[in-house]
Structure 1
Amino acid sequence: MKTRTVGEVMTSEVVEARRETSFKDVARLLDGHRISGLPVVDHDDKVLGVISETDLLYRQAMRAETGGERRFRMRPLRRGARAAAAKAAALTAGELMSTPAITVHPQQRVADAARVMERHHIERLPVVDEEDRLIGIATRRDLLRVFLRTDDEIRREVIDEVLTRAMCLPLQTVFVAVNDGMVTLEGRLERRSDIPLTIRLTWRVDGVVGVMNSLTFRLDDTHPPEKHPSHRIAHHWLPER
């Protein structure tokens, strides 16, 4: 069954910054290209970190709060406070970026990349090759493209890839209807154990937002059959000699 990969939806032309790129130039890049973040790479195109609009706004907010340089002696700061203070004083992309950078490879599934974004609460993922060099960027908007598939496209893939190829079911065994990405499966399968497998495979089709299960079965193969008394093994005792 074919599923969309990060390489198929990513943006290949990436706006990037170097470690030495100034704060103002980073702001100009974001504004000029109308993007909300960018990766920071070294001279070998390996990703060092990521900068978002939030990082820039946080720096400005911190500077406004502290009022610039203080003239009195401050108490030693904890690690988190030191990092915040360093970012507030950042003058370059290397000082401003968030590290380590969370990256993905082009062969990874779109669904897996979406889980990474959700788990780390981030908006974009640099895409790297086998040598960890930057080759693209995947944003939330890029990943959401899979949900723009039409209902007819989704229905066709469920029938061709799930029911026919994966489950080897004869045509007309299962009726498939799709409405706004919600798939309804209705029909009778041979074995009960085939139902959860069919549902899982349907969920994996790109663009599916839900599955309504109305499948029934002919044989329940999930429980061993009860033994009839006549099926018990007879023990034959031979007389002693």
Structure 2
Amino acid sequence: MRYRRVKDVMTQEVVRTGRETSFKQVARLLSEHRVSGLPVVDDARNVVGVISETDLLEHQAQREEWHGRGHVRLPRLTRAARTAAAKARAGTAEQLMTRPAVTATPEQYVTEAARAMREHRVERLPVVDDEDHLVGIVTRGDLLRVFLRADEELRRDVLDQVTRGLGVPRYAVDVTVDAGVVTLRGHLERREDVALAAQIAAHVDGAVAVTNRLTHRPDTVRAHRVGGPSGHM
């Protein structure tokens, strides 16, 4: 199996909640379904935000902190402080959630989803269709599944994609895989195909690293054409 797009690794049965769900109900959903976060949707199933365990914990921590300070004039606070104060007073999912939600689409590559998670420092992405309706959710754990492929399965996939990508017979390239590390051996006609083979292999889902031991035919013909034969006056 090839895990190349979000639709291949996402969970379709999504635990979600509405805007008006109470703090306790949100906490109960997280506990009962053993998830660390869930999307908040409106009546049309459009994702309007995401709630995580961190949001709930911040609510409790900020509540104690702000109650200890007594009354504070919010307009004089920084934006971050006003957000924290609002979280402390939050009682519904809409008030607790982080917005806007960072989402993915089913056709996105797994690598793109992983990059979005890293850039936005989130652990899950609600997956939405062309109309922004919730159709699934993908987590960091889902994305890491690509590295759980058996070595033999990965070897066959790399061999298939490299030989088809280069347009060469399968016997031209030897592929071995050990713990996800791909090693390429063989002899190719063109220098540029050696580098291209490594690039193709590196982009196969599950490849941890690529060791390129391919060789190529000496480019004597090209060198001769560049230099050209010596002429006579």
Return the TM-score normalized by structure 2: 0.91
CA-atom RMSD in angstroms: 2.1
Q: Quick one: distance in 1 between partners of 2:93 and 2:213?
A: 55
Q: For each residue in 1:91-119, what CA deviation from the matched residue of structure 2 results, as whole angstroms up to 9, or x when unmatched? A: 11101101111111101111211111111
Match of 1:171? 170
Bigger mean CA offset, 80-89 vs 165-174: 165-174
The change in CA–CA distance for 1:12 and 1:73 in structure 2 (over 3 A counts) is closer
Which residue identity is paired with 1:170?
P
The change in CA–CA distance for 1:149 and 1:73 in structure 2 (over 3 A counts) is closer
Q: 2:127 touches 2:138 (CA, 8 Å); kept in 1?
A: yes
Q: For each residue in 1:33-89, what CA deviation from the matched residue of structure 2 results, as whole angstroms up to 9, or x when unmatched? A: 110000000000000000110111011111122235715767721222111111111
Match of 1:237? none
Q: Quick one: distance in 2 between partners of 1:74 and 1:13?
A: 40
Could you tell me which runs of 5 or more consecutive residues in structure 2 were left unpaired when the two chains were aligned: none
Instruction: Write out the 4+ residue segments of structure 1 that deviate beyond 3 Å after TM superposition.
Output: 71-75, 223-226
Equivalent positions of 1:89-100 (< 5 A) are 89-100=89-100
Match of 1:124? 124
Count of matched residue positions in the alignment of Structure 1 and Structure 2: 230
Once the two structures are TM-superposed, the CA of residue 201 in structure 1 deviates from its matched residue by 0.8
Bigger mean CA offset, 123-132 vs 195-204: 195-204
Secondary structure of the corresponding residue to residue 146 of structure 1: helix
Q: For each residue in 1:102-140, what CA deviation from the matched residue of structure 2 results, as whole angstroms up to 9, or x when unmatched? A: 111101111211111111111000000110000100011
Q: Quick one: distance in 2 between partners of 1:81 and 1:65?
A: 11
Bigger mean CA offset, 129-138 vs 141-150: 141-150
Q: 1:193 touches 1:220 (CA, 8 Å); kept in 2?
A: no
Q: Quick one: distance in 1 between partners of 2:94 and 2:74?
A: 25
Once the two structures are TM-superposed, the CA of residue 193 in structure 1 deviates from its matched residue by 0.7
Match of 1:216? 215
Which residue identity is paired with 1:86?
A
The change in CA–CA distance for 1:72 and 1:167 in structure 2 (over 3 A counts) is closer
Match of 1:77? 77
Bigger mean CA offset, 100-109 vs 69-78: 69-78
Secondary structure of the corresponding residue to residue 82 of structure 1: helix
Which residue identity is paired with 2:134?
L
Match of 1:182? 181
Q: Quick one: distance in 2 between partners of 1:64 and 1:198?
A: 58
Q: 1:199 touches 1:213 (CA, 8 Å); kept in 2?
A: yes
Match of 2:133? 133
Q: Quick one: distance in 1 between partners of 2:15 and 2:46?
A: 14
Secondary structure of the corresponding residue to residue 194 of structure 1: helix
Once the two structures are TM-superposed, the CA of residue 14 in structure 1 deviates from its matched residue by 0.6
Q: 1:189 touches 1:217 (CA, 8 Å); kept in 2?
A: yes
Match of 2:103? 103
Match of 1:239? none
Which residue identity is paired with 2:17?
A
Could you tell me which runs of 5 or more consecutive residues in structure 1 were left unpaired when the two chains were aligned: 235-241
Return the TM-score normalized by structure 1: 0.88
Match of 1:28? 28
Identity %: 55
The answer as to 2:74 corresponding to 1:88 is: no
* Structure with greater helix share of residues: 2
Once the two structures are TM-superposed, the CA of residue 230 in structure 1 deviates from its matched residue by 2.1
